[in-house]
Chains A and B, each alone.
Chain A
Amino acid sequence: MSLDLNDPRLTAYALNELDPREREEMEKQIANDPAAQELVNDLCDTAAFLQLELGAEPSPELDATQKEAIRNGHVEVECEGLSVGRLGESPRRDTVPPYSARAESSESDAPVYADKDKIIPFPFVKYIAWACSAAAVVALFAGLSLPAMSGAMSKAKQLQLAQQRRDAESGYIAGSPQVAITTPSETKEDLRYAKRAQLEEMPPPPSPTELSASKSKTEVFMADASSVTSLNAPSPNAPSIPIPEVAAATAATPAQSNVRTESRLMASMDKRAPARGRIENRSMAFPLDPVRPSSPGNESYSAITENEFLTALDNPLSTFSIDVDTASYANVRRFIEQGQRPPADAVRIEEMVNYFPYNYAQPEGSDPFAANVEIADCPWDREHRLVRVGLKGREIAQNHRPASNLVFLIDVSGSMNEPAKLPLVKASLQLLVNKLTARDRIAIVVYAGSSGLVLRSTSITSANKAAVLETLDRLEAGGSTNGGEGIQLAYSVARENFIKGGTNRVILCTDGDFNVGVTSQGALVDLIKQEAKSGVFLSVFGFGSGNLKDSTMMNLADKGNGNYAYIDSLKEGRKVFVEQMSGTLVTIAKDVKIQIEFNPAKVGAYRLIGYEKRMLAKEDFNNDKKDAGEIGAGHTVTALYEVVPAGQPVKPAVDALKYQANPPVRSDVDERRSPSSDLLTLKIRYKQPDGATSKKLEFPIRDQGAKWESASGDFKFAASVAAFGMILRESQLRGDADYGLVLKLAREGKGEDEEGYRSEFIRLVKTAAEMGR
């Protein structure tokens, strides 16, 4: 039984417009129907894309006089009410509380709207209302009898008065923030979320291993229960309007009554940003930096010193940790697309090479990954050889993926308020949520000036899915950053919902302004390491530009046994969270280290291209205490060595030693040193994701003397990316590599390129080449 792809319920399903019963039924049908499944996935993606892009389309606004006209309509109405009040010889309505009083009230946990009764003392209002009620009722009838347009204003006034009276009678409050700001259809939901967030159980007492700072964390969290709710409050599609603009617009209104205008402005500001106001006030209690302005000059990268050639006699062992991060490529792409040359230290060649999936052979035995080695001429120096070491992690089919317990830790600080940041975070995570099933759990923690749980850990059943998506949709940016608090809360939520044998992971989404607040960076790293040991891993996703703290983020993910990726578009979000979801979520081996022993009989010198930040001492290889990189399901890891064959001059040449015997050079290579004709031996150590002791694999490799022309497409492409990286880094070791070579290799190695990543690379190289001219 297969679904008709023209069935509009497929779209309704993708857009969460079905009621729970229909939804469940649909889910069952779709599960057995790959064509429908594919269509629904595409529809979800298309919808997310449209929502993101159309939502960010610039919108014109009314001009000042028009806004004024609308506002004036109201001021008149109110003045009418006022004058009636004055007739009644009551106190004037200008009892605006002093600013400090207002600030205090917005700090308190009382609803922000409560300070209305400070602007208009309650008994007085009641009095006005009663005093004018009779007149209002008469006027109301008169108004109704007039033609709709002509009597407009007076009718408005009358209705207004009538309304005031009714409201006064019922003691009606103008509306809690949820009621006022959200569209009505969501109001019920809002209240439900609000309740839920308020009723949220506190995290259990921290484990003894946790830092002492956790006590203050719990207190902050409790005190903030209500501001967590208010983060939820603004409705999903409302772009929040920056304060300065509103202030200016209101200032343009002629001062009918100065006091009134001011009080209205204050009231509307309080209401518009209850969460922001609070968070900022609260954050004063912490030694925080103010929200940093976002400028390209504020990004930080740690320096990279390129690996040099080492002689095989002096340094036969080359040891490094694998790395599946891909952030550098996406970041480099962003720079180039903006017409800028990336800073050399932002170019990490291994991350660029590893951005692309390669079709390496799958493991066959019980090991979680397979090693593939290929050797050919080095394209940028034909005298040298290029060695490619490729690891391929075992694929895990979607339905065999272990259950996931994910905690999204989302930066909602002011700097995230850009189209390529928070809206992109939401859209990307929604793609991920759409892929999850009832076995999986999600919680959402946000952090800004303070942190809070927005969604407690919820299993992604079909009934819950819509609510989770909506909660994500509702997040809004505002406030300054305090990452330390949020991460502790996120870990405690992850620990509470720990799934044994499953994926337990905190997913941090930030633009990198990761202000550690009360905790020092060192303590934070300790916390992350500790948690990684207990089985909760951390993945870091960087968004946006201008503020990227690349090195911090890479460091955190590294210590947390997780990966670090940079997401600059929905397409990238799709790659990380949908296409490579298993790799992102499921770690199949940890602390994966590679050690290569070069045979000096065959190898004069070698250099590892990239991986500068991942180098290990040779002793570290057998030291299980030494942390290294993780590999996810289906991940490929590629490392390239440029090898100078024995007998060839090594550039740059080193002067002969004066005080000891010089190693044999050039033609006098001592064949007797090793009877082996191996070029090298590849050794790999890894641990099972929950294991403590490592296992070693060993592969002797011989050079068959292959020519570059016969190299595989994957090899050519990887070499192309590495050459591109060397050019961007202005490496002294790039040999003959130029843009022409990069393009030639990339074109030859492009292959089927189902996902289009390689074609995109080719376009990027062309852009860079044009910039270089």
Chain B
Amino acid sequence: MGTQDTGQGMSAPDSDWIHAMLERYEKPLVRYAAQLLDGDIDLARDAVQDTFLRLCREERTEVESRIAAWLYTVCRNRVFDMKRKESRVIALAEGESFERASTDPTPAHAAERRDNLSHINAALSLLPDNQREVVRLKFQSGLSYKEISDVTKLSVTNVGFLLHTALKTLRTQLKTELGLVPATADGATTHRRTL
């Protein structure tokens, strides 16, 4: 895929591609790894570094067509290796560590956003691990059902089930933030009063 026989060019050094992938996936991967590692940013960085070093050793044509799933899978395996080997997982308080690492300019709505985020994170923390992970992979990393299935080794059906269950729970828990209310059909007025 992606091969175009134009006869006038050739493969650029793959470093360009690696750079593009690094730019595209670095932050989301560190965030993902940190979540799996209970907020340990340093370990997460190591895992992501290892992931990209492994990418350097892969044949681009082998992985390019499934790069997102590949990166998340490798990163995830690396994280579980780490968890297994290093039982010393020093958990930083999640909020604190993320705050420190944030490079984003503080937008005007930072307060509200943080508020929403902390509600979401609180709600997520109540979910079982596997549900929380698929929710993050789906909504934070933007993976498809199939990609999530590749990464987590769960079946696509199972991914669908976990997401459905998780979303239904989150919908209830985030009712206020979402502004969800008992549906008033577009147009139906419940209460009438005449003068």
Contacts and interface: CB of A to CB of B under 8 A. Distances in A.
Contacts of A50: 120, 135, 139-140, 170
A569 interface: yes
A415 B182 CA distance: 37
B128 interface: no
Contact of A73 (B3, B56, B64, B135): B56
A191 to B, nearest CB: 10
Interface in B95-119: 97-99, 101-104, 107-109, 111-113, 116-117
B15 A71 contact: yes
B24 A238 contact: yes
Interface string B58-75: 111100111110000000
A770 interface: no
Interface string A614-648: 00000000000000000001100000000000000
Contacts of A185: 66, 68, 144, 146-147
B60 A163 contact: yes
A46 B192 contact: no
A580 B187 CA distance: 8
A113 B9 contact: yes
Contacts of B174: 46, 49
Given A59-B27, A180-B17, A9 B66 contact: no
Contacts of B109: 334, 419-420, 545, 568-569
Contact of B160 (A9, A117, A373): A9
A350 to B, nearest CB: 21
A764 B14 CA distance: 55
B12 A361 contact: no
A66 B24 contact: no
Contact of B178 (A12, A14, A571, A751): A571
A62 B45 contact: yes
Contact of B107 (A183, A239, A418, A634): A418
Interface in B137-192: 138-142, 144-147, 157, 160-161, 163-165, 167-168, 170-171, 174, 176-192
Contact of B8 (A42, A171, A238): A171
Contacts of A59: 27-28, 30-31, 101
B13 A126 contact: no
B142 A237 contact: yes
Interface in A122-170: 122, 125-126, 129, 152, 155-156, 159-160, 162-164, 166-168, 170
Interface string A699-733: 00000000000001010000000000000000000
A528 B19 CA distance: 46
Contacts of A49: 116, 174, 177-178
Contacts of A67: 22, 26
A237 B186 contact: no
A372 B56 CA distance: 72
B11 A57 contact: no
A57 B136 CA distance: 11
A395 B167 CA distance: 32
A171 B7 contact: yes
A382 B131 CA distance: 59
Interface residues on A, range: 35 or more
Contacts of B26: 61-62, 67
A61 B33 CA distance: 11
A85 to B, nearest CB: 12
A541 B167 CA distance: 29
Given A8-B164, A184-B65, A579 B184 contact: yes
Contacts of A397: 185-188
Of the four ranges (under 10, 10 to 19, 20 to 34, 35 or more), the interface on chain B belongs to 35 or more
A43 interface: yes
B68 A183 contact: yes
A173 B85 CA distance: 42
A334 B182 contact: no
B74 to A, nearest CB: 13
Interface in A326-374: 334, 337-338, 359-362, 372-374
A70 B186 contact: no
A60 B41 contact: yes
A29 interface: no
Contacts of B30: 59-62
A129 B10 CA distance: 10
Contacts of B67: 183-184
Q: Which of A51, A126, A235, A571 has the most CB of B within 10 A?
A: A571
Contact of B27 (A60, A119, A174, A180): A60
A236 B147 CA distance: 15
Contact of A544 (B31, B108, B167): B108
B86 interface: no
Given A338-B108, A418-B107, A264 B10 contact: no
7 contacts: A59-B101, A60-B31, A173-B10, A173-B11, A238-B24, A239-B28, A264-B13
What 8 pairs across the A-B complex have the smallest Cβ distances?
A167-B11, A237-B142, A60-B101, A58-B102, A74-B15, A174-B12, A59-B27, A571-B179
